[in-house]
Chains A and B, each alone.
Chain A
Amino acid sequence: MVLAVLIALIAIALVLPFFVGTYGIKFTTRVMVIAILVVSLDFLIGVTGLVSFGHAMFLGLGAYTLYFISPKSEAVSALIAIPATIVAAAICAAAIGAIAVLARGFYFIMVTLAFGQMLFSLFHDTDVAGGSDGAYINVVPQFHIGDWLALDFGNRLNLYYFCLAALIASYLFLLWLTRSPVGRVLQGICHNEARVSALGFNTYNYKLLSFVVAGALGGLAGGLFASIDGYVTPDLFGWRESGLAIMMVVLGGTGTLYGPILGAVLFAILEELLRSPAMVGATIADHWLMALGFVLIGLVLVAPRGIAGLLERDRGGKPAAEPVEAKAPPARQPQPGKELATEELSRRFGGLVAVNGVTVGFQRNRVHGIIGPNGAGKTTLINLLSGVLPPTAGSIRLDGEEIAGQRDFLIARRGLGRSYQRTNILLPFTVGENCRLAAQARHPHPWRVSDAAYRQNEEAAVVNALQAAGLTARRHVRAAHLSHGEQRQLEIAMLIASGARLLILDEPLAGMGPEETARVVALLRDLAVDHTVILIEHDMDAIFAAADTLSVLVEGKLIAHGTPDEIRRDLAVRAAYLGQYGDSEKVPG
C-alpha cells in the first residue's frame, strides 16, 4: 500500500512537467524542496524523538551559503554549491547541536526555537546580505561537462528533476540510516533514552549525529530553495517556517519518513486551495492563515497520527500465542563476574542524607541482596553504583578501579548493567530487537552504519541471552505484548546480551505470581555462573532463597551485612526491619 503510493507519486512527479505550465513546475519544485526539509525534520522528530522548533534555520543557512559562494555575475558550479550548502549547514548544526542536545523535552523545543530566532535576528538586524530586505543571487548554479551544460538551476525543468532526484536520494538515505545499527540506537533513544544510556551508549553523541544529519539535509533543501527564485530572505530562518515544517511532519505521520513527504504535498495542495478565491470564496482566501490554523487544530484533535496512520494499520501485529519455552537452558561455561566495593559512600539531597557512609563489598559470582524499608536509600544506593547519580562523597571500585562520579554509559561499558524498579525496555521493539540493541552496546560507536563486522558475535550474544532468560520462543513478539513477568525477564536478557558481568536489579520480582517468582529465582541463581548479581527485593522468601549475602539498609546506613543465616540471627535487623519475620521460627529458608 505504502510502496504503491510512493511509486505512484514518483511516476506523477516524473510526467507532471508535461502537463502543467511554468507556474506548476516552479510550485512543484518548491514542494519537493520543502519535502526534503520536512523528511529530514522527521528523522529528528520521529526517529530520534527530538522535537526541533528551529529546523528552518538550516533552510536559511543553506540558502545564505549559496548566496555567499555565488560570484556577482557568473554561476557557481553546482558541484561545489551543493556540497557547500550541505557542509556549511552540517558545521552549523554541529555547533548549535552541541549546545541544544544538552537540553531535553521542553527545553530542547525552546532552545531550538531560540537558536532559529537568533540566526533570524543576525541576518535581519545586521546589514549582512541585504539585512531585512534579503538579497538576490544573480546567477544560480550551473555545471558544465566540457561545453555541455549538464545542470542549470536557472532552467526550470532542469532544477525540477534535480530536486526530485535529491528528494528521492534524501529519503532513501534516511531510510537506510534508520534501518542501520545507528538508526536502531536512535529509535531506542526515541522510545527510552535512559535505557539506551544505561546499556552503554553515549546518547549525546547519537543525538548530535542525528541533529547534524538532519541539519545537513536541511541545508541541501535551503540551497535548492534559494535556486528556485535566486533570492534569499531572513524569513527563511523564521519560526513560522519551522512550525509549518513540524505541521507537515505530523500531518503526514511522524517517524515514517515517507509520511512527512505526503504531508508536504498535502499541505501545498491545501494552501493553494485555501488561498484561491475561486475555490473557497474571497473571505476565506483573504484570511487563509486562519483557516489553516483551524485545520491544524482539527488535525491535532482528530487525527494525531497523520496520513500514515490512515495508510497503515497497527504495525505491531497481534500478540503471538506461542507457548513459553519449558526446557531448561543448557548449562553455560563459568566465567568470572565483576566485583564491586564501596567505601564511605554518601549521597545528600539538600538536608536529607539518603545514603550515609556505606562501606560494603560484593564478591564476584555471587548473588547479593539489598533489603530495607521503603525510603531506606536502596534505590539511591544503586543509582550511585550505576552512575545515574553522582555520590556526594566516598568511593566505588569496580574490579579495583575507581568509578565514582563517572557517567552511567561509561560505567555500563565497564561491564555493569542495571534494571529498573519499573520495567524499562523498548516496548515497540520485539524481544529480539531489544536484545539486538543491547548486544550492539558492546561496540557503541555512533559511526556504525553496518552490522557486517559484528553480526556473528552479537547474534550469538542475543541467542545466549534469550536462552539464559528463557525467552527464545518469544523472540519475535513485541515487548509490549509480553506478560509482566516476561518483561522483567527481557530486561535481564538485555543486560546479559549487553555483555555486562555485574547485574544490578531493582526489585526484579515485584508484581510476580508464585510460579514466575520461582522461575526468576532459579534464573538469578543460574546467572551467578558467569555474573555477579546485586538485587533489591521486598519478597523476603525469595531473597532469602536467592541470595548468598544480604545487606540491610535503614535510613541510609548499612546496619548489617552477611549471609542470610547471619542476618536472620541479627537482632538489630529484626527490630528495625524484618518485623513479622522477627520470630526466627517463621523465617524462611
Chain B
Amino acid sequence: MNAAATAEDTAAPVLQADAVNAYYGQSHILRNVSIRVMPHEAVSLMGRNGMGKTTLLRTLMGLLRPRSGAIRLRGADMTGERASAVARAGIAFVPEDRGVFPNLTVEENLTFAARPGRDARADWTLERVYGLFPRLAERRSNWGNQLSGGEQKMLAIGRALMTNPEIILLDEATEGLAPKVRDEIWATLRLITEAGIASIVVDKNLDDLFELAHRHMVIVKGEIVFDGPTAALRADEALIHRHLGV
C-alpha cells in the first residue's frame, strides 16, 4: 500500500515540533518539547497522568496555541494555525473521550467531515472503514450516544481515517476498554500503520506499544526525557520503573 512513497517522502519528517513551550494559564505544561515523526511511522508517547501527553497532542493539533517554538507538517509552518487548518493540512486527532457526536448517527459521524487525501486512489472510504470495523457497519444508523465505549473508540478512529490524514494523534488508545476490544484496537492500529499512515499513540500498555511502534518517547513534567527505539527503552529499567510505573 505504501509502495508509492517517494524518496523525498521518507527523508523529511511528516510532523516536526521544535522547542515548543505551552501553558495552561500560569502553569508551564510543555517545556522545550522537540519531536519528529517520519512518514508511515508509528511512535508511542508515554508518561504518567498529568505529565503533558494530552497537552502535547492538543498543541500539535492546534487546539492549544504554543507560547514559543514551531510546529511543521511536511515542512510547512503550522505554528499558531487553527485546528481546522491543521486538520485540513493532514493531522487527525482521536481524543481520550473519543469526541463522538451523540446527536449524529454513526454514518453521519463518519461522513460529515470526510475529505479526500493527497492521493485519492488510496483514500479511506465509508466501505473501507466499515470493512475495518464491521461492528460500525451493523450500527450505522444508531445515534452516537447509543454506542459502547469500544464502538465509540472505533468510530472516532474511523472518523479520523475518513479525513484521509497523513498522521493520526491517538490519545489513550485503549484506556477503559475490555481486553478483547483492546486487542481489536491494537490490530487495527497495526493495519493503519501498514497502510502508510503515521501516528503518535498514547497508551499505558507497554507491551502493546512495543508491538506497534519501533520508536518511543517518554514525557515527564512537560519534558521529553527519552526518545529512542524499543530496545533502548527496554534496557533502561530504571526509567521504566520511575516514569512509567510498571
Residues of A at the B interface (CB closer than 8 Å) are 351-352, 373-375, 484, 510-514, 538, 541, 554, 575-577, 579-580, 582
Contact = CB atoms under 8 A, between A and B. Distances in A.
A580 B205 contact: yes
Given A374-B176, A575-B179, 6 more contacts: A373-B177, A374-B177, A375-B148, A375-B176, A512-B49, A513-B48
B123 interface: no
Contacts of A375: 148-149, 176
30 contacts: A351-B146, A352-B146, A373-B149, A373-B176, A373-B177, A373-B178, A374-B175, A374-B176, A374-B177, A375-B148, A375-B149, A375-B176, A484-B50, A510-B49, A511-B49, A511-B50, A512-B50, A513-B48, A513-B50, A514-B245, A541-B245, A554-B178, A576-B178, A576-B179, A577-B179, A579-B178, A579-B179, A579-B182, A580-B207, A582-B179
Contacts of B177: 373-374
Contacts of A484: 50
Interface of B: 48-50, 146, 148-149, 175-179, 182, 205, 207, 245
Contacts of A373: 149, 176-178
Contacts of B50: 484, 511-513
Closest 6 A/B residue pairs (Cβ): A374-B176, A511-B50, A375-B149, A579-B179, A373-B176, A511-B49
Nearest to A509: B49
A61 to B, nearest CB: 43
A172 to B, nearest CB: 36
Dominant secondary structure at the B interface: loop
A257 B20 CA distance: 44
Contacts of A374: 149, 175-177
Nearest to A374: B176
Contacts of B245: 514, 541
Contacts of A351: 146
Nearest to A375: B149
Contacts of A512: 49-50
Contacts of A513: 48, 50
Contacts of B146: 351-352
Nearest to A483: B27
Contacts of B178: 373, 554, 576-577, 579
Nearest to B96: A374
A345 to B, nearest CB: 21
Nearest to B148: A375
Contacts of B179: 575-577, 579, 582
Contacts of B176: 373-375, 538
A575 B180 CA distance: 9
Contacts of B148: 375
A49 to B, nearest CB: 21
A512 B48 CA distance: 9
> Taking each of B149, B175, B179, which has the highest tally of chain A beta carbons within 10 Å of its own beta carbon?
B179
A383 to B, nearest CB: 17
> Taking each of A373, A510, A514, A582, which has the highest tally of chain B beta carbons within 10 Å of its own beta carbon?
A373
Nearest to B181: A373
B233 to A, nearest CB: 17
A564 B207 CA distance: 25
Contacts of A514: 48, 245
Contacts of A352: 146
Contacts of A541: 245
